[in-house]
Structure 1
Amino acid sequence: MPIVYRLRQGKKMATNDRVWCICVADYKLFAFFTDCGLMWLDTKHNIWRVVSGDMPRKLYGGAMVEYYGKLAVFWRERISNQKQEKIRCAVIALARVGEEEVRGTIEWSGVVATIPYVCGFLHCLVASD
């Protein structure tokens, strides 16, 4: 069972909800959890909050990166009866709604690559000037 740091109490706790990837975007910490999906850390109240909106829920073996103030989220989709996977990406715009809500809007989503099943993520996007 994974161990996570519980901010409010300042101690570690056991949980079944696994963090698949974590990223800072728009000056906020975001993480993708197995059960809860995309969440952001509310540092004012020291709690994780769910990003509202229609977000992808499955992110096994995924990655996430800041992309011009937005989130670029990558995840795998196994092609049945083959030794390949589709790599999907969603670009998510973030908007603050009030004090305690961040809304995510998927601006684009699609397949960006097809790879052998044994490959993993190393670098998602490379910024260039």
Structure 2
Amino acid sequence: MFSPRGVLLRAGVDTEHWLTLGCGEELAVFVEGGRALMSMHPVATPVRLAPRERLRLSGLLWPEAAERLADTAYVTVESMGRGQVILFASDPAWRGLFRGPSRLLTNAVLLGPGLGASPVLPW
């Protein structure tokens, strides 16, 4: 009900994770809708939205939505079989406007098959 229709939020980055290669310690991410991703071990969370006090960078963010989205996952990486699933909370390449989230998508596509996935079995 109190979902943002388009807001820039601050996200903290785990700079040690392969998915965030080339990113700084914080990213501005575009979020639309009320989808909040929750993660727990063994799911890796390389990018997590900031705490409520530091969350909003720009746009209309209802207090109820800020409370629901604060400290939730923006990107998760989970092993599945011999591969992995990389899940984004919103479109990282929205209008090609933000380079940080676009870098995450590029890393997921180019590095994902080799890093974090189980090695391919020999013939």
Q: Which has the larger radius of gyration?
A: 1
The structure carrying a bigger helix percent of its residues is 2
| Pairwise same-fold verdict (TM > 0.5) | no
Structure number with the bigger relative contact order (C-alpha 8 A, sep ≥ 6) is: 2
The structure carrying a bigger strand percent of its residues is 1
How high is the TM-score relative to the length of structure 2?
Answer: 0.25
